[in-house]
A and B are shown apart, each in its own frame.
Chain A
Amino acid sequence: EAQVTQNPRYLITVTGKKLTVTCSQNMNHEYMSWYRQDPGLGLRQIYYSMNVEVTDKGDVPEGYKVSRKEKRNFPLILESPSPNQTSLYFCASSPDNSGANVLTFGAGSRLTVL
């Protein structure tokens, strides 16, 4: 089944404890992206990647890092999480970004930082 898989789905952590949210897609998509969703603020893009070893900042990149060493994986790293990073995170992918960026989303990762 074609899908985007995120792990963990739920996580409670404490301020300053580094964590990684993994994202993997099995569709050979070139484009991958991370979003966070907060009440009243919609979905905001954190980082995106047009291809392997190519990443760019989205609208809210502060406090996050990403890497794209392989086509299928696009992990989101929080080096020193803070309570304002408590949110629902979504990873998404699409075949490419040449003009019809139809995104396939993962199920989401709900992160709570205490």
Chain B
Amino acid sequence: SQQGEEDPQALSIQEGENATMNCSYKTSINNLQWYRQNSGRGLVHLILIRSNEREKHSGRLRVTLDTSKKSSSLLITASRAADTASYFCATDARGAGKSTFGDGTTLTVKP
């Protein structure tokens, strides 16, 4: 079964609003990453947060990590139509040597 699960599966907002996506996982991790995928294309890395970090920022992106709850959230502030994409979390489980992806959240930002 998948290590990470995103919530919600789909999210539709107006341009300028904030978008929040959540990711839950099952086992201990080294780090957690968020990726973005435009329709049918390759995934692009957005941000990485290590297991000893609680919050990280990159431009309009804010990621939090709560290892006690085994969950992470991705906040996109002041969303734009160009943010329309699917967003995936990926976890590197300790000693596993591989990244495991969740099912993704599909974000639609309406102009």
Contact = CB atoms under 8 A, between A and B. Distances in A.
Interface of A: 4, 33, 35, 40-45, 48, 50, 56, 58-59, 88, 90, 92, 97, 99-108, 110
B88 interface: yes
B43 to A, nearest CB: 5
Contacts of A104: 45
A42 B104 contact: yes
**Looking at chain B's contact residues, is the secondary structure mostly helix, strand, loop, or mixed?**
strand
Query: Helix, strand, loop or mixed for chain A's interface?
Result: strand
A42 B102 contact: yes
Given A42-B104, A58-B98, A103-B90, 15 more contacts: A33-B98, A42-B2, A42-B101, A43-B43, A44-B2, A45-B98, A45-B100, A45-B101, A48-B97, A90-B42, A97-B92, A101-B92, A101-B98, A105-B43, A105-B44
B42 A107 contact: yes
